[in-house]
Amino acid sequence: MRERGFSLVELAVVMVVVTLLLGGLWMPLSAQNEVRRSVQTQNMLAMAHDALLGYAALQGRLPCPTTATDAGIGQYCTEDAATCGVATATVQSHGRCATPLNGFLPAVELGLQPVDATGRLLDGWNQPVRYAITTDQHFTSADGLKSIWSNPATPPIPNIEICQEAACGTILSKSAVAVIFSTGRSGATGPLGVDEIENLEAPGDTRFISRTVSPDFDDRVLWLSPYLLYGRLIAAGRLP
C-alpha cells in the first residue's frame, strides 16, 4: 500500500485556517497589550501626582518642569520678570519656571522611574510624561505660599484651566495648580485630534483637555487641586 501525503489544495486550506486562527488570536493579544499599557500609565500618573505632593511637603514648594535636555531636573529662569534669561537647575528665590506650561515631569528630581536618557519619566508607550504648572510663582518659590498665607485678601491664583474639549464648553477646573499627562499611543507627533493639539500648544496657553479616550483623543490627564496641596502642606507643618 502506498502512503498518501497532503495535496496542495489540502495544504492551502490548512494555511488559511491557521492564518485565520492566528489573526483571531492576535487581536485579543493586541487589545490586552493596549489595556496593560493604559493601566501602567494611569498608575504612573497617580504615582507622579503623589510624588509632587510629597515633594511639596518636604520643600514647601513644587518643582518646575524640565526640558528634553536637562537630565530630569526642573529649570528656573535667572530673571524674575520680562525675559527669562538663561535657564538654570539652581532653585531661584523668585521661583519663576523656564517652561511652566510646556515642559516635562522632572523625574530625576522626584526620584521616579523609568526614565529616558534625558531623565524624563516614560509612560506605558515609552512616551515622556508631560508636566505644566501655574505661572503664579508663589507655588514654585521657597515658602512662597507661606509668605502670603496670613493675608487672605491676596490669595495665590493658580491659573491652569482643565476642560472637556478645546472650546471649553465644560470646565472641570479653573484653578488647577499643575497638570501631569501622557500623550498616549499617538505621542506628540500624531496624527493628533483637536483636543490633543490643545494639550501640546505653545507657551502661554493655560488650557488643558481631559476626557474619555476615543479614536481622536488618547491622552491621559491628571491635575493637582490647590486645596489638596494646601491640605498636604498643613499636614506637613508647612502651613500656616
pLDDT in tens, 184-203: 999 998 889 999 999 998 77
Number of structural domains the chain divides into: 1
In a domain, 31, yes or no: no
Angle between helices 8-59 and 226-235 (to 10 degrees): 60
pLDDT band at 23 (very low <50, low <70, confident <90, very high): low
Q: In residues, how long is the chain?
A: 240
In a domain, 142, yes or no: yes
In a domain, 226, yes or no: yes
Model confidence over 112-168: pLDDT tens digits?
999 999 999 999 999 999 999 999 999 999 888 888 877 777 778 899 999 999 999
pLDDT band at 20 (very low <50, low <70, confident <90, very high): low
d(CA 96, CA 79): 8
In a domain, 175, yes or no: yes
- Planar angle of CA 207, 114, 126, nearest 5 degrees: 60
In a domain, 25, yes or no: no
Confirm if 176 and 158 have CB atoms less than 8 A apart: yes
The pTM (predicted TM-score) of the whole model is 0.84
Domain of residue 76 covers 36-235
In a domain, 27, yes or no: no
In a domain, 8, yes or no: no
Q: What is the mean pLDDT of the chain?
A: 89
In a domain, 6, yes or no: no
Sign, CA dihedral 198-199-201-204, equals positive
Beta strands in 134-219 (DSSP E): 160-163, 171-176, 178-182, 207-209
